[in-house]
Amino acid sequence: MLPAVIPMAAAAQHPLTILVKDKRTQAAIPGVSISAGKTGAITDQNGYTVLRSIPDGLLVITFSATGYTPITDSFSFPRIKPDTVIIRMETEMEALEEVIVQSTRTSRTIKNTPTRIETIDGEELDEKNNMRPANVAMLLHESTGLQVQQTSATSGNAGIRVQGLDGRYTQLLKDGYPNFGNFASGLSILEIPPLDLKQVEIIKGPASTLYGGGAIAGVVNFISKTPKPTFEGDFIINQSNIGQTNIGAYIAQQKGRLGYSFLGLLNLQQAYDVDKDDFSEVPESRNFTINPGLFYTINASTTLQLGNSFTKGINTGGDMQVIRGKGNPDHTYFEKNNTVRNITTLEVGKKMAGKNRITLKQSLSIFDRQIRLPGYSFAGVNTNSFTEGSFLFHSPGHTHIAGINIIADRFRQKDPGTLHASSVSAGGYYQDTWDVSARLNIESGLRIDYVHYRNNLFAEKQIFVLPRVSVLFKPTDKITSRISFGSGYKTPTVFTEQTERLQYRNLLALDGVRAEKSIGGTADVNYKTNLCDDLSFSINQLFFYTRIASPLVLQTDGGGNNFFVNAAKPFTSHGIETNLRFIFKDQVKLFAGYTYTNARAAYLPGKPLLPLLPKHKLNLTLMYEKEDNFKLGLEGYYTGRQYLYNGWPTPAYWEFGFMAQKTVKQFSVFINFENFTDQRQSRYKTVANPPHNNPSFDDIWNHTEGFVMNGGIKLKW
């Protein structure tokens, strides 16, 4: 009798060899956790692993590693080509930010820092670099709670406002160095290129404990890239329909103990008159920046950084006939700005036991500027020196930082005049971050500053005691809340947004004024969750309040002279910011940001709103991106009613933009349609007022240049 033959389906079993690499550096990633149903593995030191005994069919595999964005992919078995599968993982920006956030001056993670810090990461910086490679104005203009306020109709000069406060109340930093104030402030954001930036960190609300005077509204810290062991290079060339050409390159690498970085950027702009009224909306300009950096590892615990940034600009706006060299008695008006800025920085860091470290920093900034108009010239040199020593140390449950710094600022007017001024502030600070529990962190600090400021007419000495407290609550894994309160001050200066509009004409030196003082705070609630497997959602609700006592106010006497006095009543600003974020499959992203700002001057009758400040602003951004392939973006911005300095209201308006980028390996092509609905002020009324050879200009409350289309190429390696 023959044995019975029972047919059985024997499922085939297959192996899968996997290599995991860093997407940017192409270096192998060890320790990657790989999950495939009931099977799992971890990559070895060379980034390899093998999954065995995989049956026929579809297998879903998830790859995860600390500091990298998780990847989920599916594979069909049997495979047509049983080659090694190469997985390229991208560094997770949140994880990178958690290494060190420079603006806190500690080595704590951003998630565990009680100070509320907003970060603009490399991806968004890259997108804004497509739009305006010349400077960071576009980047800041489109951020919730920030406003870039143009101060000149013809030269395009601009300042930045945070939560409704004038630009002089915000401390602009580059890698922690405060070299962008006073006479330099009107052009600072127009001379900071985004090409070498790693990220931008924004602290809204009082931050004077760590940063001293001028940080009443907050701090904007531009963080530069630093060299890595693998060579990094970025090249961009951009051309716009309004006559702007940008050519820039950034390279960096760390080889053994020695590292270097180099940024070079050339910006060429033709004068542009969109409304054909014979006056430029965008000035003719020739600007270039050279920024080399040297990074040296002295030994295993000591590092040295030396950098120098040189920027030179020639900007000419006004009557188009004059700019073209065809002026005549009916065409005489021009406004010319010539600037030279040089900043030298030195930093020495010493690591000690227990993650403690000592940091010494020194910078010297020289800003030389000349403003020329028909029959008028204003020129001067602003010199700024910053010296600081700080000590970061730890104890059980605490992170401490203590330091001293000295800031010396001097302005010397070249033309005959009285606007010679200097100030020196010397201060010491201490801050303690206490991890009370896993869900509660408290950060408290105190700063004491001695300030001496003087000019040809008077001298004043003051001492400021500046406390600050921030608390971080984490009631659940999905909800966090931060509350901060602090005080600040601002040393008197004649360099404000209003005097910039006047080109400092008929401006008298300060006399008998005192520093402005502030108190303020912020409170926010943040909620994050996954609405489904592929859709994440987060909302951040912020409340803010600032009160400035003895605000410095510009007045005009009967002879037409402009001078400053301290107002008897305060200036206040309060409001809310709401930010929503939806992310679908890491490819489709929707951002919405709303800002309500109520900034009023109690020293004026009726407590009017701050001029040129919208009470309502709405930012909308929709992005669709296929990694290393293409990205598309649509943006919409609503600006509510504003009030001019004469009290007249302006209409609200919308503006829209669209961008596209196609990437093939290291090569990218991009095109951008900014303000494609051509929203601009001259559609309501011309900005320049007659007579033609001696015009006056309206306050700037809208775009002046209108629709801008630009495109170019980028190369990354």
For residues 597 and 165, give the distance between their C-alpha atoms in angstroms, rounded to a whole number: 10
Q: Determine, yes or no, domain membership for 3.
A: no
| 182: alpha, beta or left? (left if phi > 0; alpha if psi -120 to 50) | left
The encoded tokens of residue 252 equal: 């960096």
The answer to whether residues 366 and 342 belong to one domain is yes
Q: Determine, yes or no, domain membership for 186.
A: yes
The answer to whether residues 539 and 619 belong to one domain is yes
Q: How many domains does the chain have?
A: 3
The answer to whether residues 466 and 421 belong to one domain is yes
Q: Determine, yes or no, domain membership for 202.
A: yes
Which CATH number is 253's domain given? 2.40.170.20
For residue 303, the one-letter residue type is: T
Q: Determine, yes or no, domain membership for 455.
A: yes
The answer to whether residues 453 and 535 belong to one domain is yes
- Give me the sheet containing 197-204, strands edge to edge: 118-120, 197-204, 218-224, 170-174
For residue 33, the one-letter residue type is: S
Q: Determine, yes or no, domain membership for 6.
A: no
What is the pLDDT, as a whole number, of residue 379? 94
For residues 21 and 2, give the distance between their C-alpha atoms in angstroms, rounded to a whole number: 57
- Of the three residues 188, 223, 258, the one that is the final residue of a domain is 223
Q: Give alpha helix (H) positions in 384-441.
A: none
What is the pLDDT, as a whole number, of residue 98? 46
Q: Tell me if 335 sits within 8 A of 378, measured CB to CB.
A: no
The answer to whether residues 101 and 247 belong to one domain is no
What is the pLDDT, as a whole number, of residue 199? 86
Q: Tell me if 355 sits within 8 A of 306, measured CB to CB.
A: no
The answer to whether residues 135 and 260 belong to one domain is no
What is the pLDDT, as a whole number, of residue 583? 93
The answer to whether residues 257 and 158 belong to one domain is no
Please report the DSSP string for 39-50 in residue order.
Answer: EEEE--TTSEEE
| Residues in the chain with pLDDT values less than 50 | 1-10, 93-99
Which CATH number is 25's domain given? 2.60.40.1120
Q: Determine, yes or no, domain membership for 507.
A: yes
The answer to whether residues 445 and 502 belong to one domain is yes
For the chain, give the longest Cα–Cα distance.
128
Instruction: State whether residue 665 is helix, strand or coil.
Output: coil
pTM for the model stands at 0.83
Q: Determine, yes or no, domain membership for 4.
A: no
The encoded tokens of residue 157 equal: 């000069």
The answer to whether residues 164 and 215 belong to one domain is yes
The answer to whether residues 589 and 445 belong to one domain is yes
The answer to whether residues 108 and 75 belong to one domain is no
Q: Could you tell me the residue range of the domain that residue 171 belongs to?
A: 94-223
Q: Determine, yes or no, domain membership for 326.
A: yes
- Of the three residues 69, 91, 113, the one that is the final residue of a domain is 91
The answer to whether residues 174 and 313 belong to one domain is no
Instruction: State whether residue 329 is helix, strand or coil.
Output: coil
- Of the three residues 65, 91, 117, the one that is the final residue of a domain is 91
Please report the DSSP string for 436-452 in residue order.
Answer: EETTEEEEEEEEEEEEE
